[in-house]
């Protein structure tokens, strides 16, 4: 198992999280939870984006093709409504 | 990490006191940002982003949990539990599988409370190391007068250019059967110890979004695309707000009703508050809602503005220029 060094920014770049030792077999959903916790974000609302694509929460980072040094974006999936 | 020792759990109970649902509160970010922004505006903190993480501690009154004190750098501010009222609605809606249209207020009477629980220290040890860098607030050196706005004694934290409001009005009128949303760009000013938002540009929320007459869905890519577009424009404006319309309940048929009926569709729903909390937690972030107001035709929409005040989303006044 490799260890990845990742940078995760929120959508408007007001917070940047540097995570120096992320296991490559970590599930995407678990990384999202770590970043939500570190950035004090509401739970179960966010996704990670890499290269413009939303990552599958059920995949590992390795399966999602994430490499060390990559910059990811965390952004919410939300609905406004009347 | 906002508090390594405690979890703050919000419990929502039904009329008879039975638990409906509970959820740990994790989104203290609006409060953490409120503490820093207030201190920056009052000159107690430099606007350099070097504030470090916030810590959240409970405070009690008569042996009952009454709120939280948020500390950041050398600053602190206390918030009563009422700041979490919006979350209670969201927890209830999620638990009941309802949306705003179900008018849960009439169907359910509920209470909620905040509980303090000890965290599992072993679970904390397994967390990843994470270092957070905070960006300074996007304050500019501009002034309201310097931007050519004649305030003429009008007091507000929100100015919207007439051109932008007309653009949003036209969008609302053209979409009486579908919600549309825009990211709004502008300048954030510091005047008289207050943050003032001057909005003048818009970016349509179109990438990977979805909508109907009663909802507008933002995907993560919608947000990322808006940021990229704002960067590409390089016009000195920052995304500071968002806007969307609420079509009237009878859609386009509304225009056939003469005189205009008393229905009012300009409000900030629980879902809208969820969007604001998740995507626009900055203390200066603004939301505009357009819709049919009582006694007005749907093609003459009214706009209302909402934003943060002391960690709570409230309606705010705004003026055009």
Model confidence band, residue B123 (pLDDT cutoffs 50, 70, 90): confident
Looking at beta carbons, which residues of chain B come within 8 Å of A41? Answer: 26-27, 29, 278
Q: What is the DSSP letter of A55?
A: P
Pairing of the two strands B55-61 and B64-72 = antiparallel
Given a cut of 80, whether residue B97 has pLDDT beyond it is no
CA gap B149, B156 in Å, rounded: 12
Given a cut of 70, whether residue B2 has pLDDT beyond it is no
Looking at beta carbons, which residues of chain A come within 8 Å of B220? Answer: 11, 46-49, 54, 73-77
Cβ contact (<8 Å) for A34 and B274? no
Given a cut of 70, whether residue B37 has pLDDT beyond it is yes
What is the strand order of the sheet B238-246 is part of? B312-316, B302-309, B286-291, B238-246, B181-191, B194-204, B158-160, B319-320
Query: Exposure pattern of B102-120 as b/e (b: 16+ CB <10 Å)?
Result: eebeeeeebebebeeeeee
On average, the pLDDT of chain B sits at 92
pLDDT of residue B282: 97
Higher pLDDT, B119 or B35: B35
What fold characterizes domain B158-320? Cytidine Deaminase; domain 2 (3.40.140)
Higher pLDDT, B1 or B196: B196
Model confidence band, residue B101 (pLDDT cutoffs 50, 70, 90): low
Q: Where are the domains of chain A?
A: 3-76
pLDDT of residue B95: 81
Give backbone dihedrals phi and psi of B260, rounded to 5 degrees, phi first: -60, 140
| Cβ neighbours of B308 (radius 10 Å) | 26
* A59–chain B Cβ distance below 8 A for any pair: no
Q: How large a percentage of chain B has pLDDT more than 90?
A: 77
Interface probe with A: pick from B130, B205, B271, B313, most Cβ of A within 10 Å = B130
Cβ contact (<8 Å) for A52 and B26? no
Q: Which residue of B has its CA nearest to A26?
A: B128
Query: Exposure pattern of B186-205 as b/e (b: 16+ CB <10 Å)?
Result: bbbbbeeeebbbbbbbbbbb
Model confidence band, residue B105 (pLDDT cutoffs 50, 70, 90): low
Looking at beta carbons, which residues of chain B come within 8 Å of A20? Answer: 129, 131
Residue B60: which residues within 8 A CB-CB, separation 6 or more?
Answer: B66
Cβ contact (<8 Å) for B130 and A35? yes
pLDDT of residue B90: 85
Choose the most confident range, by mean pLDDT, from B109-113, B160-164, B259-263.
B160-164
pLDDT of residue B99: 55
Task: Point out the residues of chain A with pLDDT beneath 50.
Answer: none
* A4–chain B Cβ distance below 8 A for any pair: no
Question: Residue B278 is nearest to which of A15, A22, A45, comparing CB atoms?
Answer: A45
Residue A2, min C-alpha distance to chain B (Å): 15
Q: Where are the domains of chain B?
A: 6-125, 158-320
Report the pLDDT averaged over residues B162-187.
Answer: 97
Interface probe with A: pick from B1, B220, B277, most Cβ of A within 10 Å = B220
Model confidence band, residue B255 (pLDDT cutoffs 50, 70, 90): confident
Q: Which residue of A has its CA nearest to B25?
A: A42
CATH assignment of A3-76? 3.10.20.90
B222-239: pLDDT as tens digits: 999 999 999 999 999 999
Given a cut of 90, whether residue B192 has pLDDT beyond it is no
pLDDT of residue B281: 96
Looking at beta carbons, which residues of chain B come within 8 Å of A21? Answer: 128-129
Given a cut of 70, whether residue B103 has pLDDT beyond it is no
Interface probe with B: pick from A7, A24, A40, most Cβ of B within 10 Å = A40
Residue A77, min C-alpha distance to chain B (Å): 5
Q: How large a percentage of chain B has pLDDT more than 70?
A: 95
pTM equals 0.94
Given a cut of 60, whether residue B106 has pLDDT beyond it is no
């Amino acid at each position: 198992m490799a260890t990845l060094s990742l940078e995760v920014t929120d959508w408007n770049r007001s917070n940047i999280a540097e995570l120096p030792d992320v296991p490559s077999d970590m599930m995407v959903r678990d990384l999202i939870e770590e970043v939500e916790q570190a950035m004090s974000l509401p739970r179960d609302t966010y996704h990670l984006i890499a290269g413009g694509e939303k990552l599958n929460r059920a995949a590992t980072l390795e399966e999602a093709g994430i490499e060390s040094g990559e910059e990811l974006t965390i952004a919410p999936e939300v609905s406004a409504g009347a | 990490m906002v508090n390594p020792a405690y979890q703050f759990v919000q419990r929502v109970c039904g009329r008879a006191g039975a638990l409906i649902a509970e959820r740990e509160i994790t989104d203290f970010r609006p409060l953490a940002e409120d503490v820093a922004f207030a201190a920056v505006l009052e000159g107690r903190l430099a606007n350099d982003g070097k504030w470090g993480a916030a810590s959240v501690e409970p405070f009690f009154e008569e042996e009952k949990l009454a709120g939280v004190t948020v500390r950041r750098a050398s600053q602190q501010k206390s918030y009563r539990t009422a700041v979490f009222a919006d979350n209670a609605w969201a927890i209830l809606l999620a638990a009941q599988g309802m949306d705003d249209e179900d008018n849960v207020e009439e169907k359910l009477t509920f209470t909620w409370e905040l509980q303090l629980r000890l965290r599992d220290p072993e679970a904390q040890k397994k967390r990843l190391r994470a270092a957070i860098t905070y960006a300074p607030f996007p304050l500019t050196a501009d002034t309201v007068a310097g931007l050519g706005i004649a305030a003429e004694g009008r007091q507000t934290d929100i100015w919207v250019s007439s051109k932008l409001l007309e653009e949003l009005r036209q969008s609302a009128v053209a979409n009486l059967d579908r919600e549309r949303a825009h990211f709004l760009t502008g300048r954030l000013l510091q005047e008289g110890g207050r943050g003032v938002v001057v909005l003048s540009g818009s970016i349509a929320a179109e990438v990977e979004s979805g909508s109907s007459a009663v909802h507008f869905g933002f995907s993560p890519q919608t947000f990322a695309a808006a940021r990229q577009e704002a960067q590409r424009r390089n016009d000195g404006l920052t995304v500071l707000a968002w806007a969307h319309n609420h079509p009237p309940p009878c859609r386009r048929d509304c225009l056939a009703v003469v005189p205009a009926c008393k229905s009012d569709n300009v409000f900030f729903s629980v879902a809208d508050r969820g969007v604001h909390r998740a995507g626009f937690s900055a203390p200066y972030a603004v939301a505009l809602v357009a819709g049919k107001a009582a006694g007005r035709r749907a093609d003459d929409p009214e706009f209302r503005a909402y934003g943060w005040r002391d960690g709570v989303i409230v309606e705010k006044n705004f003026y055009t220029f």
